Structure 1
Amino acid sequence: MPNYHIFTIGCQMNQAEAERLEGLFEQKGYLPVDVPEEADLVLLVSCAVRQSAEERITNRLAILKKLKAGRPSLRVALTGCMVSEDPLEMKRTFPMVDYFFPAGALPSFIDDLPGDILPNKPEVATHVPIIQGCDNFCSYCIVPYRRGRERSRPLQEIVAEVKTLVSRGSREVTLLGQNVNAYGHDLPDQPDLADLLVALDGVEGLYRLRFLTNHPKDMSRRLIDTMGRLASVCPTLNLPAQAGDNEVLSRMRRGYTIAEYRALVDDIRQSVPGIALTTDIIVGFPGETAPQFENTLKLIADLRFNAVHGAVYSPRPGTEAAEKFEDDVLKIEKERRLARLEELQTGIAAEINAFTLGSNVEVLVEEYVKGKWRGRDRHGKLVFFKSTRDLKGQLVTISITATGPWSLRGELTDADS
């Protein structure tokens, strides 16, 4: 039987699209392999949001070019945000690629692949894209240019997909979008994300719902209230701040001030007690001074997020920031700032997780890895424990015996032993 290999980098949307493509290939009879050297078809799901991510893809394509020289039958496909609307230019840049298709699209060549239909096996925790593209045009971001404007999927179509996934074994669903809380505004009857959460809350066998990534300006009062009252919606929220200084936020075209962001966080924490908040931060944005970066550190220290996803700024050709602002923060200074941010957040995360020591948490068991079961609690924290039983897909109660900044360890309680 033919084999395929997928390499994915970037956001959860890319991961979700890779999962969908895996299902398509396996339905055509292709079997997954761990290395491209053993594959008949190699697919790269690319990211252009960071220069480092783009470089990793180009490096892999160079390796695949050498593989194709020795094995001309190897087929290579490229999707994701690196794929532009100019196919001739893409082919000139990457001649080793046989198939290009845009981010979020299905490959036109799929029907030409030989093979029989095989059943797909979803993961316990899976991702479902509900809206593609973004209308915000933050000055640093390539996404609106590569994924286009916001396009929501019909509500009933999403509900039907989730029901199918649950019937096949999925127990947790994360709803995805570049701007997920803008869902529905472009549909005829204009449902919103709160409507979708209500519709999915009643799906039998679905234990947990999450959603990301959110834009602070689109966090409505109705959505916040809905999060607080639906049993299946986990008390977790990713709310990217991107910077802790108003001047930097203005140059980023984020559409809110730090005072407004702080007020929103306070409101969410009052409405959803115990919520685990995470955020994204870009360090070294053009013109960011040392005092402005200190404002970002103060924001992180004050608000005490459960996790902070930090990244150094890299100019993306075609974006406003790349064309309008000089990339004037030295690379060594960007890396220093990122290290300080990560050091601060590591300490905060360790302190937050330490409060769970000795407590019992509900864990959805996802997989068995290196002699331990791995799962997540309702706040999204990784939990590891040992058991000889097959617990995949089950909810178990774990007594936490050790904590760290990135994960928890524990033991099954008597009720689940």
Structure 2
Amino acid sequence: MKHFNKKLTFFIKTFGCAMNENDSEKLSGMLKALGYVEENDINKVGLVIFNTCSIRENADDRVFGNIGAIKTVKKTNPDLILAVCGCMMQQPEIVKKIVRTYPQVDLVFGTHNIHQFPELLNNFLVNGQRMIEVWEDSDAIVEDLPTDRRYPFKAFVTIMNGCNNFCTYCIVPYTRGREVSRQPGKIFNEVQALVADGCVEVTLLGQNVNSYGNDLEKDVNFANLLRKLNTIENLKRIRFMTSHPKDLTDAVIEAIADCDKVCNYIHLPIQSGSTRILKAMNRKYTQEDIINRVQKMKDRIPDVAITTDIIVGFPGETEEDFMETLKVIKACKFDSAFTFLYSIRTGTPAATMENQIPEEIKHDRINRCLEVLHQIGHDINQNYQDRVVEVLVEETSRNNPDRMTGRTRTGKLVIFEGDLSDIGKQVMIKITDAKTFSLDGKKIEQEETDGRINPYDDPVPENS
């Protein structure tokens, strides 16, 4: 039997979305329950976990680069255990590549059997044999896993897993499976427990939160869930991600408008503004639908901030299609966007489509797209100049330890002079310098707000 280092220390590196971050918090929680301690020096640690993402090709490349680097680490620390999990592991060809090419990987598991990790780890420690255990799918969400939250004052809460949409470019339905919703009572109880533990903000997670409840009882839906959670005493903020435009109903918009704890921030990934390309993507909405939905949100939700995702260079995208996307961006005035070059995902319909776009055209278009987005974002942020906003303080600034950072209810990053005692608190900040990607401000005392409690007493001008 192989001799193993008895150091009960671990290091987790997370790739990808908030769902992966939430999974990593659960992995950390399970390990700490077993007596493990987190260690940030990868050269000293006993266990390394890479929690992977498969949404883009460059994410795969980064993971394989990190796996390759562990081979060198293992030369000086041969008892190091390397586990690889997450969305990439749900692809059989990826697992085969790891088994064939990367002997330094000791454990492999997927998104559906994360709860099995302690058992897999123990089996490896006892038998000394590589463990490969990936479930193809699951029709249930495992409840009550221990979670090691990064922030004590805010938390992720998974309300559903999976996706039924099968967009032609996306691997997620193959890695996360079909949609499975949690019972609303269990979600409510979890949020209540989090609030009792000092949490003031929750972010509801799902590949498509707007589909929540479609597999449950008739009256269970996302709008009603928001209204129910809004009644929880001492909960201050409710966020959610991600919304699919085709499922963003009037009922959800009305719930956001009515519920004071639901933040006036919506991430609405449109992916393209061309109706022709949207059809090829199997998105099931049109350019007109996007513009109408965004206008409805702006009419009903005061001071709403709307962000989006844009894919540039989808197969067959013409210059005219790209210009249609720019048209929608300008019409909707998104606060910001995550922009991506189309990336071939093996196993998806788009991977074999004709008219794949050359890389140089993709790069030209994404640069032009960013130029428009950045100007709109700058103009929107200028409306925050000299306003007083409520900020939930999260941590020290990465660039200046004497400054703190936090988020407004609209998701804006605010940087201000403060101290560690502000972390986890909601403070009032007067914006002194509105920039394109962040807002600088000055903390003000309660009496300086003239008794105002609502941080949006200084409204954004109507022409914003």
* Structure-to-structure mapping, 1:8-87, within 5 angstroms: 8-84=14-90, 86=92
Secondary structure of 2:404 counterpart = strand
Deviates more, 1:6-15 or 1:187-196: 187-196
Shift in CA distance, 104/399, structure 1 to aligned 2, threshold 3 Å: farther
Measured in 1, the distance between the counterparts of 2:113 and 2:252 equals: 29
Q: Deviations over 1:218-268 (max 9, x none)?
A: 111111111110010000101111011111111111001101111111111
Measured in 2, the distance between the counterparts of 1:249 and 1:118 equals: 38
Secondary structure of 1:185 counterpart = coil
Secondary structure of 1:366 counterpart = strand
Measured in 1, the distance between the counterparts of 2:9 and 2:366 equals: 40
Once the 2 structures are TM-superposed, how far is the Cα of residue 167 of structure 1 from its aligned partner? 2.2
2:314 to 271, 282, 285: 285
Measured in 2, the distance between the counterparts of 1:94 and 1:158 equals: 40
Once the 2 structures are TM-superposed, how far is the Cα of residue 85 of structure 1 from its aligned partner? 6.2
Give yes or no for the alignment of 1:302 onto 2:338: no
Measured in 2, the distance between the counterparts of 1:118 and 1:389 equals: 24
Measured in 2, the distance between the counterparts of 1:70 and 1:416 equals: 59
Match of 1:101 in 2: 109
Measured in 2, the distance between the counterparts of 1:268 and 1:43 equals: 41
Once the 2 structures are TM-superposed, how far is the Cα of residue 339 of structure 1 from its aligned partner? 1.3
Measured in 1, the distance between the counterparts of 2:244 and 2:158 equals: 16
Match of 2:242, as an amino acid?
T
TM-score by length of 1: 0.94
Q: Paired residues, what number?
A: 414
Shift in CA distance, 185/90, structure 1 to aligned 2, threshold 3 Å: farther
CA contact (8 A) 1:17 1:104 kept: no
Match of 1:98, as an amino acid?
D
Unpaired runs of 5+ residues, structure 1, are none
Deviates more, 1:190-199 or 1:142-151: 190-199
Once the 2 structures are TM-superposed, how far is the Cα of residue 169 of structure 1 from its aligned partner? 2.3
1:227 to 249, 252, 256: 256
Deviates more, 1:341-350 or 1:275-284: 341-350
Deviates more, 1:187-196 or 1:12-21: 187-196
CA contact (8 A) 2:200 2:234 kept: yes
Match of 2:436 in 1: 405
Match of 1:343 in 2: 371
Match of 1:387, as an amino acid?
G
Secondary structure of 2:389 counterpart = strand
CA contact (8 A) 1:26 1:120 kept: no
Q: Deviations over 1:131-189 (max 9, x none)?
A: 11100000000000111100111111112222222222221111111111101111245
Once the 2 structures are TM-superposed, how far is the Cα of residue 12 of structure 1 from its aligned partner? 1.4
1:127 to 156, 159, 162: 156
CA contact (8 A) 1:244 1:298 kept: yes
Secondary structure of 2:239 counterpart = strand
Measured in 2, the distance between the counterparts of 1:24 and 1:294 equals: 49
Measured in 2, the distance between the counterparts of 1:260 and 1:401 equals: 37
Shift in CA distance, 47/118, structure 1 to aligned 2, threshold 3 Å: closer
Match of 1:329 in 2: 357
Shift in CA distance, 120/219, structure 1 to aligned 2, threshold 3 Å: closer
Match of 1:393 in 2: 424
Once the 2 structures are TM-superposed, how far is the Cα of residue 322 of structure 1 from its aligned partner? 0.6
Unpaired runs of 5+ residues, structure 2, are 1-6, 123-145, 449-464
Match of 2:220, as an amino acid?
P
Give yes or no for the alignment of 1:253 onto 2:259: no
Q: RMSD between aligned alpha carbons?
A: 2.1
Match of 2:404 in 1: 373
Measured in 2, the distance between the counterparts of 1:85 and 1:278 equals: 30
Once the 2 structures are TM-superposed, how far is the Cα of residue 34 of structure 1 from its aligned partner? 2.3
Once the 2 structures are TM-superposed, how far is the Cα of residue 69 of structure 1 from its aligned partner? 3.8
Secondary structure of 1:298 counterpart = helix
CA contact (8 A) 1:104 1:132 kept: no
Secondary structure of 2:90 counterpart = coil
TM-score by length of 2: 0.85
Measured in 1, the distance between the counterparts of 2:222 and 2:447 equals: 35
1:266 to 292, 295, 298: 295
Measured in 2, the distance between the counterparts of 1:167 and 1:25 equals: 23
Match of 2:381 in 1: 353
Deviates more, 1:388-397 or 1:296-305: 388-397
Percent same amino acid at aligned positions? 38
Once the 2 structures are TM-superposed, how far is the Cα of residue 416 of structure 1 from its aligned partner? 7.2
Measured in 2, the distance between the counterparts of 1:120 and 1:213 equals: 20
Secondary structure of 1:217 counterpart = helix
Match of 2:143 in 1: none
Match of 1:212 in 2: 241
Q: Deviations over 1:309-358 (max 9, x none)?
A: 100001100001112x1362111211121111112111111111111111
Match of 2:385, as an amino acid?
L
Once the 2 structures are TM-superposed, how far is the Cα of residue 104 of structure 1 from its aligned partner? 5.0
Once the 2 structures are TM-superposed, how far is the Cα of residue 190 of structure 1 from its aligned partner? 5.3
Match of 2:183 in 1: 154
Match of 1:168 in 2: 197
Once the 2 structures are TM-superposed, how far is the Cα of residue 385 of structure 1 from its aligned partner? 1.2
Match of 2:387, as an amino acid?
S
CA contact (8 A) 1:101 1:107 kept: no
Shift in CA distance, 24/120, structure 1 to aligned 2, threshold 3 Å: farther
Shift in CA distance, 53/118, structure 1 to aligned 2, threshold 3 Å: closer
Shift in CA distance, 307/96, structure 1 to aligned 2, threshold 3 Å: same
